[in-house]
A = this chain, B = another copy of it.
Amino acid sequence: MSNIAAAIITIGDELLIGQTIDTNSAWIAKHLNELGIDVLRRVAVGDNREAIIKALDEEIARASIVLITGGLGPTADDITKPLLCDYFGGKMIVDQQVLDHVKAMMAKRNRPFLERNLKQAEVPDVCTVLFNKMGSAPGMWFEVPQSKTGGERKVVIAMPGVPFEMISIMQDEVLPRLRTQFFSDALLHRTLVTAGEGESVIAEKIMDLENALPAHIKLAYLPDAGMVRLRLTGRGKDSDLLTKELETHQLELAQRLGNIVVAHDDHSMEKIIGDLLLAKGKTIGLAESCTGGFIGHLITQISGSSTYFNGSIVSYSNEVKQNVLGVNKETIESYGAVSEQTVTEMAKGALRVLDVDYALAVSGVLGPAGGTDRVPVGTVWMAVADKDNVKTKEFRFFYGRLQNKEMAAKMGMMMVYKVISEKL
């Protein structure tokens, strides 16, 4: 019942000085996981020969599949290709398919073919070349000599660090090979998304159910600003049976937790709201002051959101609140820009100007400057309007500027969810 173990090594000095956020590892881990391959470790090392060799030795000892990203470029600090060639006792040869491809790429971009481009077509003669249709550096698949592994099959797979090149090679070359060449048990997940209760309260409520889970099913709590995801992970030979088991436990948890459950799939609140709107053919728009466009950014991260999201009036100045959204000058003068009255008029204005079924309006003081005795830093007023009603709420956040903005966005989405889900 044990899964195949993998490790990911990312190579590049930029990862160790905080210049680059590693998104490759998460992508790789997610897709291996879906195949039923467990990533045991992710390791990042610099462009340093000894560090790379040490990492290879250690991770090959632990895992059957070692995936490497980065270090394959044409510049002097990219040392991984010759290093792997030495490591596996090969010699460098020119690969004709890669050479033709690199030449064609250069021609298409009107660039001269340089000595260093020839280097890109060189590969160790001890690897299977993984064609990179998106870029010039090919991926490489090495079999670790079984004399070194005690007879166990182990592979090392090296890919470039550019995300879309890595993804293309994984999809076309690596994942299909792993699927057919390595066997593993089924590994399945079921997620419940909850909103409005903290991790500890939830844990208290479902303690007996959690304790009664069989050994092959694990429960994880993944908390995030007002929401907690509960993820059930199961392993087993029979994936139909496992699916049924997981669904039974998921249903049990959902029934116990009642109306704090907002989704039965691992979706973001933006996606949950988008699906609700799509299902009902409704539209949404925003009137953002302190969030500055951040909520619009989150909503438009969902591909296809243009079907239900018309836009956002980012009314940072009072004049834009008045001139574009039609907020009364007197309202702002009497009650202030951060007030129940102002967000109510902003939401109604957005309904009209953006011609939508629902509108969320947000106005607040995120700090560090700009607070007053009456409206201290962290105060945020929100309103959700439809054609019949306006619902308003005051929030207070206690973090830095960016965190307050993120919290305001998440709480605003939560308010929208509540209004829409009651309505629909």
Contacts and interface: CB of A to CB of B under 8 A. Distances in A.
Interface of A: 13-23, 25-31, 33, 38-47, 51, 55, 58, 73-77, 111-112, 114, 116-117, 134, 162-164, 167-168, 189, 198-201, 203-204, 210, 218-224, 231, 266, 286, 288, 290-297, 299-301, 303-306, 309-317, 319-320, 323-324, 353-355, 367-370, 398-403, 405
Contact of A23 (B21, B46, B398): B21
Contact of A369 (B198, B288, B304, B317): B304
Nearest to A23: B21
A338 to B, nearest CB: 12
* Most B Cβ at <10 Å: residue of A164, A219, A309, A401: A164
Contacts of A292: 293, 296-297, 299-301, 305, 309, 312
Given A162-B223, A311-B314, 13 more contacts: A13-B220, A19-B231, A21-B26, A75-B221, A76-B210, A77-B219, A163-B399, A288-B293, A290-B300, A309-B317, A311-B316, A311-B317, A313-B313
Sorted nearest first, the 3 A-B pairs with minimum C-beta distance are A18-B30, A293-B293, A293-B296
A148 to B, nearest CB: 20
Contact of A203 (B14, B75, B305, B401): B75
Given A294-B297, A312-B314, A354-B320, A222 B368 contact: no
A223 B12 CA distance: 12
A77 B316 contact: no
Contacts of A312: 292-293, 312, 314, 316
A17 B33 contact: yes
A91 to B, nearest CB: 23
Contacts of A74: 199-200, 203
A163 to B, nearest CB: 6
Contacts of A317: 306, 309-311
Nearest to A109: B198
B44 A17 contact: no
- Report copies per complex: 2
Contact of A30 (B17, B22, B27, B221): B17
Nearest to A211: B76
B45 A41 contact: yes
Contact of A315 (B210, B291, B311): B311
A299 B114 CA distance: 36
Contacts of A42: 15-16, 42-44
In this complex, which of A13, A266, A291, A309 has the most chain B Cβ atoms within 10 angstroms of its Cβ? A13
A46 B40 contact: yes
Nearest to A307: B317
Contact of A18 (B31, B204, B297, B323): B31
A69 B4 CA distance: 26
B324 A316 contact: no
A80 to B, nearest CB: 14
A312 B293 CA distance: 7
Contacts of A355: 319, 323
Contacts of A19: 26, 30, 222-224, 231, 266
Nearest to A399: B164
A297 B293 CA distance: 5
- From A25, A30, A286, residue with most partner B Cβ within 10 Å: A25
A18 to B, nearest CB: 3
Which interface residue of A22, A47, A200 has the most chain B CB atoms within 10 A?
A200
12 contacts: A15-B29, A16-B29, A18-B28, A22-B25, A22-B26, A42-B42, A47-B220, A111-B201, A114-B201, A164-B399, A167-B400, A294-B297
B402 A301 contact: yes
Most buried by B among A26, A117, A319: A26
A231 to B, nearest CB: 8
A11 to B, nearest CB: 11
Contacts of A306: 316-317, 370
